[in-house]
Amino acid sequence: MSLIDDKRQICRERTERARVLTEQLHAAVAVAEWTKVAALASELLEISPENRVARDARKRAWDKVGAPVGDSRRLAETQHWGGTPSATQSKSVATADVETKRAARFMLWIDAVGGYLVCLGDEIVIGQAAPGAKVDVPIQADVSRKHAKVVRHKEGYVLEPLGGKVAVDGKPVNEPVLLADGQEIALGDAVKMLFRKPHVLSSSARLEIVSGHRTLPHADAVILMGESCVLGPKWQNHVVCREWTADVVLYRSDDRVICRAMESVEIDGKLHDGRGPVRPGSHVVGGDFSFSLEAV
């Protein structure tokens, strides 16, 4: 019981400290002491990382005093998305290969919206979520280890069977076939996926599993990301976020992924002037949105 009592005491102390900091923060904002606001907000966020008041106050303070703000003109100085580590990092080639493969996919966790498996490759292999299976989209179902492949071409997306039973809109497929927006893909006897290419000006597409089967890790949909992925309230976006007021775009620049918004955006605790680089592990916060990227 002493351990529980200790934890309760720590929680009480943290709650009281957060209350005091909140009062001090409001007072500092009222008199425009922006340096003090930045310090108080940062301390409060250490206790309560999702505190919206503290985040908004820190953004205002950074705008006023010029504290760490990412400059989009200096994106060339940022770290690359994946790639081979330098020799000074003393990592083996095998480890570098693993990291590069992991960078080809990531989970996009969007607060109050859902989780999405984002695949960056031009060829996406779909198969069974079995131990040791090396597929881009593992599905927990009775399908082949490597059941089918979706390939992005200039003219669109092509579905190629890899030995498993495949059908498109109920018609068996035995050779590569060009996919159209809204077509249903059947894998095996039970798995059904809906192919969507909602944004006519983007080469990216979306796979929705409509049969109730789960991917591993579990995702609400799979994003086949070409040059960009648009998040926002419009129905034609790759991920529809109804409560957002404006679109946010993830786009590729060489081997980096950049986040662009219509407002200042906080990426990994630093304020950026509308855009900045992201990588697996990044957390992005805007005025009415928040999302994270996780390596898989």
Distance CA 150, CA 185 (A): 11
| One fold for 70-120+225-296 and 121-214 | yes
What would the CATH number be for the domain defined by 70-120+225-296? Answer: 2.60.200.20
Q: What pLDDT does residue 170 have?
A: 95
Distance CA 249, CA 128 (A): 31
Q: What pLDDT does residue 65 have?
A: 64
Cα 219–chain centre separation: 11
Is the pTM of the predicted complex or chain greater than 0.85?
A: no
Eight-class DSSP state of 215: B
Q: What pLDDT does residue 251 have?
A: 93
Residue the block writes with tokens 């990291």? 99
Tokens of 213: 């089967």
Paired residues of 129 in beta bridges: none
Q: What pLDDT does residue 34 have?
A: 78
For 133-186, write each residue's pLDDT tens digit.
789 999 999 999 999 999 998 778 999 999 889 999 999 999 999 999 999 999
Q: What pLDDT does residue 66 have?
A: 55
What is the torsional sign of CA 34, 35, 36, 38?
positive
| Ranges of the chain whose pLDDT falls below 50 | 67-80, 82-103
Eight-class DSSP state of 118: E
Q: Where are the domains of the chain?
A: 2-67, 70-120+225-296, 121-214
What would the CATH number be for the domain defined by 121-214? Answer: 2.60.200.20
Eight-class DSSP state of 74: G
3-state secondary structure 266-283: EECCEEECCEEEECCCCE
Q: What pLDDT does residue 230 have?
A: 94
